Structures are given as structure tokens and as C-alpha cells.
Amino acid sequence: MKNGKFGEYGGQYVAETVMSSLKELEKAYEHYKNDAAFKAELKDLLDNYAGRPSGLYYAAKMTADLGGAKIYLKREDLNHTGSHKINNVLGQALLAKKMGKARVIAETGAGQHGVASATAAALLGLKCEVFMGKEDTERQALNVFRMEMLGAKVHPVTSGTMTLKDAVNETLREWASRLDDTHYIVGSVVGPHPFPVMVRDFQKIIGEEIKAQMLEAEGKLPDVVIACVGGGSNAIGAFYDFIEDKEVRLIACEAAGHGVDTPKHAATMTNGTVGILHGMKTYFCQDVYGQITPVHSISAGLDYPGIGPEHAYLSDTHRAEYVPVTDDEAVEAFNYLSRTEGIIPAIESAHAIAYARKIAGALGADKTIVINLSGRGDKDVASIARYMGVKIDE
Amino acid sequence: MNRIAEAFKGKKALIAFLMGGDPDICTTEKLIIAMAEAGVDIFEIGIPFSDPAADGPVIQAASVRALEKGCTADDLLNMVQRVREKISTPIVFLTYANSIFAYGKERFMERCRDCGVDGVVVPDIPHEERGELSDACEKFGITQIALVAPTSEERVEKIARNAEGFIYCVSTLGVTGIRDEIRTNITATISKVRNVSQIPCAVGFGISTPEQARDMASVSDGAIIGSAIVKIIGEYGAESVEPVRQYISRVRSEMDVIQK
């Protein structure tokens, strides 16, 4: 990490107007991350409010069924608000409060990060406004209502493709117009420095817990850690503590939608090229003139045309593998985990389950795979029903 | 002396933005010629981009219109090359970093030089990332214009020290767009620039009436008008050449009231 960059990726490609706020944030974060009182307060919130540590569950039936490596599930789905998003949001909301910001804003795709932000804001007494693509507010109407119940104001975004990337654009615009009292809670390891570093630091607890839990359960490190990747916060959270443990394979599953050979996918590392957007240099799905191309995934959380800059670096340096998983494979895995283990995974996390199913059988019984189960699937039940052509009354 | 420096000689510079390819390339070309005749000193031509995060609704809409017509950076480079046969007014591209990056930085700047583009304003390249483009710009003699904002404070001097062409002084927080009133203390920002440099300072963001342009130019070296022009083009489309010419004439005469 040098000048906010991982190799050539990352940086601060933003309007001059917000540079002073990024500097202010960087300074505050550098201070508080080593501040004992801040760390204690955050730990208390994570342990007693979010429910950490999350469990590491040995999936015996899935292991037996796949007939290869032992499968463990890291249960981020059991966190308060139902996903890993709360880890980051509590950290950033607490930091915002320490910085004297009375208001937080956030972008959201499916609504998980928006709900987590609204939750943390309610808890810490901050005003919260969430920007969400109009198309997503319709697809995820329940989450819009949930955010409103928590006291947040939701702004439907009607620019561009009316999805997550446009919600990010709109949140950036809002931030540039009101910097004094407002902190932008970026939801993933994306955006300008220091966000990718800060969000990763708030999420790395996932991998630290996996390591300790695996040493206790198996007396050794896992052979493989698998996570889904959109922007990449749950993946980097699971991977980070293992980066120096070169013997541990790190696999990130990106959304291949209808397939990487079709235009309907969000497989940034498989099909993207290096570009600059949302404050960072990294891989994006784009055309030859640099116009960002519409992406598709059944999972709103992975439906993003970019990827965190640290992932771009981990891919280039071959430390982590980035593999595509299609909508069909994810839905199959969604149903598989529900029936095999009685756990309904988030459709995002189902991408990681799907890839584990592909490789577990070929690995020996002495090998172990940890799948980061980043979220629970309650939010997806209606859209899976639609996908399967089942009519239900929501 | 290069064309940009020349534009600030003996008068307040009227700098006009329009989105390239809105409503179509042919109209953009006619607009440029008419606006040059009406007294524009420097053109900023926007390269339409899918994700213009520094722009307000008016310019976002223009970007969408231009992209729907299929306008590309190549179309705009070729258009500038044609316009160059008729006018010598300096032309800079106002473009997001990704349009240059995707084109290839060196190839883009080389084409700019060959087609007669004088400089680039890149709103998502702040001082810290200036190095991203500076080598390519220097190699092909393309001026890289820097922006300062009301929040820049102690950053202003650092930015001004390395600045070339002119400094784009952003008048207000937020994104591009029309504003009723501009409250920021521009004079304070400009005096910070003057501590380290005599480079011309032009004020942009929010200026729409001829009076606002005059007022902003009176405390600086020039006024930048964007959304107000784009709004007329949005309204009149291919018929916008005359209304825009008239608007520019009014701004020009109001600005000429000020003696430099």
C-alpha cells in the first residue's frame, strides 16, 4: 500500500470538492483505529449488538454428500441484520460520530447495506439517508420499508440504469454538496482511498475468527477459503488474514449471470478491463470507449460493474482466484443448502456454495474448505420464487 | 504564447461548455462556430460518459442524449479537427478520467494534438492523481487544467503552484448546475492562488445569467458557463444554434462592461 494504492489499483479519483473530506476521514481513521477507547467501544458493539463472533459450522451432511473435503460454513448470516455488512457499518457509523458528523448517507443495491446503515444510525443517533436505484426499490420494496421503519429516508435514484452503480453516483453527488455534517458510509471495499482499506479493516475480523476457529476445530489452517465477490467486502474480510499463509487457496466467486459469453453478467475479473470510476482504478465491465456497461446478476448484491482495488491486486499477483458462477448455478446452490443443511443462504453467498460444490469432491477427505456464508436468504425468497416461476403472495 | 493564455489577454474570458454530440455532432459543430462568432473565448467540450458523478441533472441528461446518438471520443476529435479549419478559439475537452484511460492516455493526447485540442479538464483527477495524465499531456503539449473548490483551503496553493493554462475555480459545493445565488467567497480562493501564481482564474458552477457571469468575472479572470447553455440546447435541439448565439451575445456584452 503506497499513496492509497494496491500496486496500480485504488487511488483517489474524485472531484477536488471532496478531497478535503477524504483527507479528514483518512486522518480520523488513522487516529481512531489505534485508539483503545474506540476499539473497545466497537468490540462491545460487535460482540453484544451484532452477535460476534459468528459461528464456524461444520456442514456434515454437505460434506458427506459431496464426498470430498470437509466443508465448514462461516455463519455471517447469523449477524444482526443478517449479513456481514453490519461489521463495516458499525465501524464507520461509530467513526462518523467521533468525527462529529450528525448525518450519514449510504448507497445500497439489494438493501442489505442500507438496512445495516439505517440500523447503526438508529442505534447511534445519527440521521440516515439511503440512495437506492429506482429499479432496486421496486425489486426490494420490503427492504425500503424496513429502512423507513428504522428511521432512514430512502431516495429512489432515477439516473442511468437506476441500479447500484447509479446509486453510488448519486451518493457521491449528495456528499459533494453537503460535506460538513455528513459522512458517506461506503458499503464495500470500493471507492476512493481510504474506503477500501478502512472497510477491509472493519471486515477482516471474519478471517481472523475463521483462523482461530479452524485451529480449534481442526488444529490447522483451512486448505481453501471461498467467498462471493461483488465489490468484495465479505471476500476481503474472509481472505485478509490468510494472505500471508500462501498454502491457503483463496477463491472469490463473481456473478456470471446468464453466462460470461453473454452480455448479461457481472463478472468483472473474468471479462472486465482496467478503468477509473467511483474514485478508484480497478477492473470494470466497460466498452472500448470506457462507457460502463450494464451488468446483470440474479443477486442485487453482486450486480456491480467494478470490484475493490485490493481484489484487482490479489488477482494480478495470483494470490487469489476469481471464478465465474452463473445465476442457474447459484439458484441450484441456494436450494441445495436449504435442503441439505436447513440453512437458506443469501443468493450472493449461494455463488460461493455453488463453487464449493464443484471442487469439494475432487479434494481428499483430509482437506478442508471454509465457505463464507456472508448473508441469509430471507430477503431472496420472493425473487427465487419468481425465478423458478412459482407464484407466491408476498 | 499558447492559445489558452491568449484568451485571457486584455479581457475577461468567456468560457463556454457544451456536451459534444448533443443533440448530434453536426449541431455541436454549428454551435461552436456560432458561439465563437458571438464572443466565446475558450470552449469546453464534454465527452459524454455513462457515469458523470460530478454533474447535475442538466448535464447528465445531455450526456444521455449524446450517448443515445452513439457519440464517441473519436467523433469529437474528428469534429474538432473540422472546426479547426474555421476558428482558432482554444478548445479543451471536459472529460472523466475513464474516457481518456480507456482510449489510451498517450494515444488520446496525441490525437488531441493532431486535431487541435488545446487541453483537458478532468474533474475526477485531483492534484494527488495528476501524475496519471501529466506525462502524456506534456509529451503532446496538451494543457492539463486544474480545479480548486470552496473546500480546497490550504490545498489551493499546492494546486496553483503546478497549474497550467488557467485554474477552474468551482464556485459552490455539489455538482454542476444552475443556481440562483452564488454565496461562496471566490475572492478568498483567488487571493490564495495569487500568493503563489499569476495564472488566470475562471469561475464555474452555477453561473447562468449574464449578470452572474459579469459578477463572477469581475472578481476573477473569466466566467465558465455550462448548464445554462446545455439547457437551451436541451430545449431547442437541432434548432438551438440561434438561441444559444443570442444568449452568448448577451453574456458577452454584459461581461464587456467590466474593464480589465
Q: Tens digit of pLDDT for each residue in B15-51?
A: 999 999 999 999 999 999 999 999 999 999 999 999 9
B6 lies in some domain: no
Reported confidence tier of residue A393, pLDDT bands at 50, 70, 90: low
Q: Which residues of A touch B155 (CB under 8 A)?
A: 16, 19-20
Q: Which amino acid is at A381?
A: V
Residue of A nearest to B75 (CA): A289
Provide the mean pLDDT of chain B: 95
> If you average pLDDT over residues B134-139, what whole number do you get?
98
pLDDT over 90 percentage in chain B: 92
A179 contact residues in B (CB cutoff 8 A): 151, 173
Percentage of residues of chain A with pLDDT beyond 90? 92
B155 touches chain A (CB under 8 A): yes
Given pLDDT bands bounded at 50, 70 and 90, which one contains residue A175?
very high
Kindly state whether residue A100 falls inside one of the protein's structural domains. yes
- Please give the span between the terminal C-alpha atoms of chain B, in angstroms, as a whole number: 19
Tell me whether residue A150 is in a domain: yes
Q: Please list the active-site residues of B.
A: 44, 55
Flag whether residue B78 sits within 8 Å of chain A, measured between CB atoms: no
Q: Which CA distances in Å does A223 have to A211, A246, A314?
A: 11, 10, 18
A394 belongs to a structural domain: no
Q: Which domain holds residue A313?
A: 51-82+204-387
Q: Are A67 and A112 members of one domain?
A: no
d(CA B39, CA B174): 29
**Above 80 in pLDDT, residue A229?**
yes
pLDDT of residue A110: 82
For residue A394, name the pLDDT band (cuts at 50, 70, 90): low
Which residue among A152, A177, A199 closes a domain?
A: A199
B50 Cβ under 8 Å from any chain A Cβ: yes
**What is residue A348's predicted lDDT score, i.e. its pLDDT?**
96
Verify whether the Cβ–Cβ distance A3 to B96 is below 8 Å.
no
Question: Is residue A392 included in any domain, yes or no?
Answer: no
* pLDDT, mean of residues A234-261: 98
Calpha distance A295→A305 (Å, rounded): 6
Distance, in Å, from the CA atom of B111 to the CA atom of B123, rounded to the nearest integer, reads 20
pLDDT band of residue A391 (cuts 50, 70, 90) is confident
d(CA A200, CA A233): 6
Q: Is residue A168 part of a domain?
A: yes
Q: Give tens-digit pLDDT for A299-319.
A: 988 999 999 999 999 999 999
Distance CA(B78)–CA(B76), nearest Å, equals 5
Instruction: Tell me the nearest-neighbour CA distance from A237 into chain B, angstroms.
Output: 28
Domain endpoint, select from A199, A229, A254:
A199
- Reading the block at residue B44, the C-alpha cell is 469546453
- A284 beta partners: A273, A306
Instruction: Please tell me if residue A176 touches chain B, with a CB cutoff of 8 Å.
Output: yes
Reply yes or no on whether the pLDDT at B1 is more than 70.
no
* Residue B36: its H or E element: helix B25-38
Q: CA of B152: which chain A residue's CA is closest?
A: A20
Residue where a domain terminates, one of A142, A164, A199? A199
Residues 6 or more apart in contact with residue B187 via CB below 8 angstroms = B219
CATH number at residue A124: 3.40.50.1100
List phi, psi (to 5°) of A306: -125, -170
Residue B199 lies in a domain: no
Strand-pair partners of A282 = A275
C-alpha A319: how far from its chain's center? 19
The answer on A141 and A39 residing in a single domain is yes
Residues A88 and A91: their CA atoms lie apart, in Å, by 5
Which residues in chain B (159-188) have CB-CB distances under 8 A to chain A?
A: 159, 170, 173-175
Q: Residue B258's pLDDT is what?
A: 86
Q: Does A34 touch chain B (CB under 8 A)?
A: no
The answer to whether A189 touches A231, Cβ cutoff 8 Å, is yes
| SS3 at position B87 | coil
Q: What is the extent of the structural domain holding B236?
A: 12-143+176-185+205-255
How far, in Å, CA of B58 to CA of B178, rounded? 9
Would you call A11 an interface residue with chain B, using a CB distance cutoff of 8 Å? yes
Q: Is the same domain home to A75 and A94?
A: no
Q: pLDDT tens-digit profile of A337-352? A: 999 999 999 999 999 9
Tell whether omega for the bond before A194 is within 30 degrees of 0, i.e. cis: yes
Residues contacting B233, CB < 8 A, separation 6+? B18, B19, B22, B23, B27, B31, B62, B240, B244
The answer on A193 and A69 residing in a single domain is no
Helical spans, DSSP H, in chain A: 16-32, 36-45, 60-66, 85-98, 112-124, 134-139, 141-149, 164-177, 195-203, 205-218, 233-239, 268-271, 309-316, 327-341, 347-360, 381-387
Three-state DSSP state, B19: strand
Q: Do A144 and A270 fall into the same domain?
A: no
CB contact under 8 A, A169 and B97: no
Alpha-helical runs (H) found in B147-257: 155-161, 186-196, 210-218, 227-236, 241-255
Do A265 and A321 share a structural domain?
yes
What pLDDT does A214 receive?
Answer: 98
Any A CB within 8 A of B149 CB: yes
Average pLDDT, chain A: 96
| Mutation target among B151, B154, B169 for the A interface, most CBs of A within 10 A | B151
Query: Do B151 and A179 lie within an 8 Å CB cutoff?
Result: yes
User: What is the nearest CA distance from B32 to chain A, expressed in angstroms?
Assistant: 24
Q: What is the pLDDT of residue B99?
A: 98
A289, B56: Cβ pair inside 8 Å?
A: no
A228 and A187 together in one domain: no
What pLDDT sits at residue B260?
Answer: 58
Residue B130 has pLDDT above 90, yes or no: yes
Residue B191 counted as domain residue: no
3 state SS of A358: helix
Query: At A137, which amino acid appears?
Result: T
Residue A325 near residue A254 (C-beta atoms within 8 A): yes
* Cross-chain Cβ contact A13/B97 below 8 Å: yes
| Residue in A closest to B125 by C-alpha | A13
Shared-domain flag, residues A148 and A130: yes
Of A12, A19, A169, the CB nearest to B155: A19
Positive or negative torsion for Cα A341, A344, A348, A351: positive
Residue B98 has pLDDT above 90, yes or no: yes
Do A172 and A263 fall within a single domain?
Answer: no
Put simply, whether B152 touches A (Cβ < 8 Å) is yes
Min mean pLDDT across A30-44, A129-143, B2-16, B227-241 is at A129-143
Nearest to B51 among A169, A177, A274 (CB): A169
Read off the pLDDT of residues A217-228 as tens digits, 9 standing for 90 and up: 999 999 999 999
CA distance B48 to B43: 15
For cell 461548455, the residue is: B17
Residue B157, in any domain of the structure: no
Within 8 A of B129 by CB-CB distance, chain A residues are: 11-13
**B72: nearest CA in chain A?**
A289
Nearest to B67 among A168, A281, A291 (CB): A291
Instruction: Name the CA radius of gyration of chain A, rounded.
Output: 19
| A35/A9 same-domain check | yes
* SS3 labels along A235-297: HHHHHHHHCCCCCCEEEEEEEEECCCCCCCCCCHHHHCEEEEECEEEEEECECCCCCECCCCC
Residues A64 and A37 reside in one and the same domain: no
Residue A333 DSSP SS3: helix
Facing residue for A20 by CB, picked from B52, B56, B155: B155
Catalytic residues of A, which ones?
Answer: 85, 107, 374
Query: Residue B122 falls within a domain, yes or no?
Result: yes
If we measure between CA atoms, which residue out of B166, B253, B259 comes closest to residue B211? B253
pLDDT-derived band of residue A3, with 50, 70 and 90 as boundaries? confident
A179/B contact by beta carbon, under 8 A = yes
Asked whether the beta carbons of A303 and A330 are under 8 A apart, the reply is no
Cβ proximity of B18 and B89 under 8 Å: no
Tell me: ipTM over 0.90. Answer: yes
**Contact assignment for A286 to B102 by CB distance below 8 Å:** yes
Using CA coordinates, name the residue in chain B closest to A284. Answer: B98
Paired with A156 in beta bridges are A132
pLDDT band at B243 (very low <50, low <70, confident <90, very high): very high
Is the CB of residue A272 less than 8 Å away from at least one CB of chain B?
no
Range A213-241 average pLDDT = 98
Measured distance CA(A79)–CA(A82) in Å, rounded: 5
Question: In chain A, which residues have their Cβ closer than 8 Å to the Cβ of B60?
Answer: 159
Asked if A117 and A241 sit in the same domain, the reply is no
The answer to whether residue B195 is domain-embedded is: no
User: How far is residue A139's CA from residue A158's CA, in Å, rounded to a whole number?
Assistant: 14
Domain count, chain A: 2
Q: How much is the pTM?
A: 0.96
Task: Please report which helix (H) or strand (E) contains residue A153, including its range.
Answer: strand A153-157
Residue B84 lies in a domain: yes
Contact map slice: B 200-219 vs A, CB within 8 A: none
Report the domain count for chain B: 1
CATH of residue B218's domain is 3.20.20.70
The pLDDT of residue B176: 87
Asked whether residue B5 is assigned to any structural domain, the reply reads: no
| Span B60-85, pLDDT tens digits | 999 999 999 999 999 999 999 999 99
